[in-house]
A = this chain, B = another copy of it.
């Protein structure tokens, strides 16, 4: 991270790292920091997230399920480039999937359809097991 190493920035990054397994909105981040007794201004949070995104340390998603952008910390040494994400449209659960089939699809699309898929940014929407079952029940 370039620039100054301030208390606020430390706390934001630390909180993002602790929750690197999920997608957080700016608001969730602010509230979680508050719970830890740390108050950080909204503008600072947005500016820091923007900076981290540009540096590649954080990834930004627009998830239809939420009405605000989501952010996720990307550990450079982790395998986040390998796996991809499923997001349940119903309960909002985010599922990380390490599955060769998706990589193969990416390769196919790149070779045959001349489009380079961004595994990290792409999110497959649908219904998770629980919600699909609940949906079946409601329909009778």
Most B CB atoms within 10 A — which of A104, A113, A115?
A115
A37, chain B: closest CB distance, angstroms: 33
Partner of A113, one of B63, B86, B88, B122: B86
Report the nearest B residue to A121, measured CB to CB: B125
Contacts of A95 in B (CB 8 A): 113, 115
Q: Which of the 9-residue segments A7-15, A21-29, A44-52, A126-134 touches chain B?
A: A126-134
A-B contact pairs, 26 of them (CB 8 A): A62-B63, A62-B64, A89-B121, A95-B113, A95-B115, A97-B109, A97-B113, A99-B109, A99-B112, A99-B113, A101-B109, A105-B105, A109-B124, A109-B126, A114-B128, A114-B132, A115-B126, A115-B127, A115-B129, A116-B127, A117-B124, A117-B126, A118-B125, A118-B127, A122-B123, A122-B124
A54, chain B: closest CB distance, angstroms: 14
Is there a chain B Cβ closer than 8 Å to A42's Cβ?
A: no
Asked if A102 contacts B105 (CB within 8 A), the reply is yes
Quick one: which of A83-119 are within 8 Å of B by CB? 86, 88-89, 95, 97, 99, 101-102, 104-105, 108-109, 112-118
- Report, nearest first, the 4 A-B pairs whose CB atoms are least far apart: A114-B129, A117-B126, A62-B62, A121-B125
